[in-house]
Structure formats: structure tokens, C-alpha cells
Amino acid sequence: MRKVLIVDDEKNIRLGLRAMIDRLFPDAYTFDFAEDGAEALELLNRAPVDVVITDIRMPVMDGIALIQRIQELERKPAVVILSGHDDFPYAKEAIRCDVSEYLLKPIVRDELARTMLKLEKELKQRERIDEQLTSSMRQQEAYRESQLSYLLRHPHPEEPGLPDRLKGCGLEWLEEGFQLAVLQYRGSVQGMRPPEFLGRIQAELENAPEPAGQRRAHVWDKENQLVLIAQRRELFQFLAGRIAETGYFAYSMGLSGYTQGVARVRAAHQEAEQALKYTFLQSAPGVVSYERIAGKSRDFTIPADKIRKLGNMLGAGREKEMTSLLMEVLDIRTVARYDIAYLEGVSRAFNELIFDKVFHIYGGESVEILRLFKKVGDLWNFYYFHDYYHSVEGLLHRLDDYVRSMKTFHIDHKEMKQAVQYMQDNFHKDLNMAVVSNHVSLNYSYFSQAFKEYTGESFVSYLKKLRIDKAKELLVTTGHKVYEIGGMTGFENTKHFSRVFKEMEGISPQEYRELHEALKR
């Protein structure tokens, strides 16, 4: 018997669903129940479940969050969502997260029956595939993959015995003709593992119409991309149609031209890889064939001067100009006109002329910002151009703020050093904050704040400390009278000098002198 987990915060719906399923399929299912996504996740972690039927709007953890967490499970159940009419946009998003089906409330008996029959068919198909992967079949598949891998690595495969080996693993049809595709996952599931991706593709290929699905093979290339090769073009036409469907399992595909002979496998793979790169310019999962992009112009010049100009604007308060220039440099019309090497060159120029330069000029603190946008350094860390564009734009604006703050810091740092040096040279004079701030040409209020940030104390406290330190030195090293030393260190009278000295040192100037004279004896 299969196990069904029903997740809904309304008890009547949970029990009603169980009753309907029991009437439709007597003794076919056992049931577990949960009031919200968090409780459901606990049950899923305890024991495997075949089918999860979940509402979207629930307390604690809603259905969308539950579906996302289910993607992390090693054994994933089939998922059906319950949706009210107002929930339809959420239902569409859930289907993009690999949900098998959705049911509108109120639940119609026939729709429920159709859904459960469909799920049963899919589950049996999955089990059938698992059963077929016996040890001997896996060995044969591994041998076939090794032969395909050899063909991908060698441009002129002429090894003795190769035809016999290809025939032995069912690849002799490559001599008659084939088309090759490179597939890349573009969905929302983080950390999609190659075996899981392959399993989903294989399940889809089982639905391909005959004879399109016959005479096909797969292998993982050195970039860990799935390579699919088939004798009939119709198989890839079928997959292209499925990719275009709303809510379908998300991946993109680059297609080679149709060719023949084992000597052409490597070249076909290079064509498909190149075609796959151009799916980057799309806004959603899609297919690009080599024929569409083979004639793209390579007669281009990387706009290094404009990129350098962008870098020079950082920290200058010219955000609008930067945005406008970035739109010009990364104009999708220009990018689409040329070979993809143009965009790769632009990306390298951004790294060399802006991002690396900021790091070298302004030092280690900028690494924190670069870490936030670490993906920007490699164009192919992104699925789509618009994601790359917005990340570059975001990084530039963050760097603009950072460089502006660093420039301000360095300017202030220089001016504060000048202010402190002026105070050390003129402590004996009638000195106040207005005099010093004017000396370094800074606003009085701004100077007060900047001085405290630089020295760690207020202007008045710093000046008192500076004068008392000088006074202590004179008390110990000279024979000047106390009142004379007070005047020499900028105090207006002896009373003021003595009061500040005792406040800071705990004893009077005379007591300080006598203490040090006693220590010398």
C-alpha cells in the first residue's frame, strides 16, 4: 500500500480527502495528517511517503515553503497542491518547483481520481526505472558512457577495435547519423545533483513518442554537463516542445547540427556547447541550435575605454551617468549581434579594469563587498543575461558608495593629522576648536565629529591632555615656577592650571614635582 500525507489546517478537509480517496481506491492507501508544513516536514523526516497533498495557505509553515523543503529530501514524494482561485499565482509557482499537479477547491471527485491515477502511473514508472537499473545494466551503461567519453575527448578517434566496441555497447548507429545536445539545469532547486537531474531527464525521455526515443545515449562531459546524443531529430524536437511548456521542469539545451560518423562526435559536442552559451541571452529556459548562431560576427572591439570610464566614476557621485554608461556597454542589442566571445570579453574587462582595480587600490576591506557579489567575476555563474546585468549594476553602485566613503576617510584622515600636528605645535597659545577647524578648512560641527572619530576623544579633552602632558614634562625637567609652566602650556591662569592638573592627575602640580624629585634621590 502507498502512503499519502494530507497537509491542511482544516480538519474537515483532511478527513474529507481521506474519505474520498478511500471510496475511489479502497485499501490502496494509508494516511498521515499534518496541520501545517512544519508538522508535515517532521513526518517526512521520520518515514518515507509516496504522495503529499498540501494546501498553500497555512500557519507556521505554508505550502510553498514545505514544497521547497521537500526538494532537499533524499527520497522525494510526488506532490499535489490544493488551491483556491485566489491562490492560482502561487500554484503556478509551485508547479515550477516540480509539483506534480494541483487541485482547485472545492475538490471535484473526478479531478481527484484523475490526479491519483496519474500519480500512480508516475510512481510505477519511477519504480520501473529503478528496477531496470540492475547491476549488469549499470555496468553496460558505464561501458557505453566510457566509449562516448572517449569520442568527446578525441577529435580523430582511430583506435583499433573501436568499431567493435561501439557495436558491443549499441552505438554503431553513430555512423548512420546523429544529433547531440548539451543540457543544463536552470531550475530553483539549490544543489541539484547530476544523478537526480539525469533521472528526471530519463523519466521525460520515456514519454517521447516512438521511434524518436530509440537509439540514444548520454554521458557527462568534463564540465559535468549532461550530453544527450540521439539518432533522430524528433527526440530533441519533443524535448524542445516540453521546455517551452509553462511550468515544465526547467533546463536549457544547446543543439549541434545533424551529422554522422564517430569522428564528428567531438565537433558536435563543441557546437552544442557553443549553442548552449546563447541560452544565456534568453529570459527563461529554452533551446538554441548551432545553426542559429554559427554566423555571429566576431568583428568587434571590447569597449575598454567606456568600462575604464565607469571605473573612474566610482566615488564621484555620478550614479546616473554610471547607470547610463552601463546600459550602453551592456546593451542587449549589441551583445546579441556578436559572437558570445564579445560578452565574455566585456566580462573580463569589468574584472580587470574595475573590480580588481578597486581591490588593489583600496585594500582588503573591499573584499567584503566583492564577496557579496562574488558571482559577478564569472559570467557563467549566471543562468541569464538579465541576472548578470543587475548583479554588475548592483556591484558598481555598492563599490561607488564604498569608494566614496574611502575617499572621504582618506581626506579626513589627512586633515585630522594636520589638525593634531597644529595643536602639538601651538598648544601654548590661545587655542580652541574654531581656530583649529579653520586652520584645516573644515566646518566647525563636522570637524568636531571627525576629530572625535579620529582621536577617540573630544577636542577639549584632547587639548587638556596634551597641555597637561607637556606641563608634566616641564615640571620634571625644568626649574620653572608652577605659574610659569601653566602659562607656557596655554592655561590662562595658575588657578585654572592647578584645577585641571589635579582633575587629571589626582595631585597638584607642585606635589607632582616633589614626588618625582623624591624618586630621583
Reading the chain (521 residues) residue by residue, the pLDDT tens digits are 899 999 999 999 999 999 999 999 999 999 999 999 999 999 998 888 999 999 988 899 988 888 888 888 878 899 998 877 566 566 566 666 667 788 888 888 999 999 999 999 988 888 887 776 655 666 777 888 888 888 888 877 776 778 888 888 889 999 999 999 999 998 877 778 888 888 889 888 888 888 887 899 999 998 889 999 999 999 999 999 988 886 667 899 999 999 999 889 999 999 999 999 999 999 889 999 999 999 899 999 999 999 999 988 888 888 999 999 999 999 999 999 999 999 999 999 999 998 888 777 665 555 666 666 778 889 998 999 999 999 999 888 888 888 777 666 655 677 888 889 999 999 889 899 999 989 988 778 778 877 887 888 899 999 999 999 999 999 888 989 988 998 999 998 989 999 999 999 899 989 988 888 877 76
- Measured CA to CA, the distance from residue 379 to residue 376 in angstroms comes to 6
**Cis peptide before 211, with omega less than 30 degrees from 0?**
yes
- Measured CA to CA, the distance from residue 110 to residue 485 in angstroms comes to 103
Q: What is the pTM of this model?
A: 0.56
Q: H or E stretch including 20?
A: helix 11-24
Q: Are 516 and 505 in contact (CB under 8 A)?
A: no
- Measured CA to CA, the distance from residue 314 to residue 355 in angstroms comes to 11
- Measured CA to CA, the distance from residue 54 to residue 37 in angstroms comes to 8
Looking at residue 163, its pLDDT comes to 82
3-state SS assignment for residue 12: helix
Quote the cell numbers at residue 418. Answer: 594636520
Closest residue by Cα to residue 432 from 456, 408, 467, 483: 467
Q: What integer best gives the mean pLDDT of the chain?
A: 86
Q: Are 205 and 220 in contact (CB under 8 A)?
A: no
Q: Are 447 and 462 in contact (CB under 8 A)?
A: no
Q: What's the half-sphere exposure (Cβ side, CA atoms, 13 Å) at 337? A: 8
**How many CB atoms sit inside 10 A of residue 372's CB?**
13
Question: Which residues lie below 8 Å from residue 493, measured CB to CB, with a gap of 6+?
Answer: 486
- Measured CA to CA, the distance from residue 385 to residue 362 in angstroms comes to 29
Closest residue by Cα to residue 241 from 207, 217, 215, 273: 207
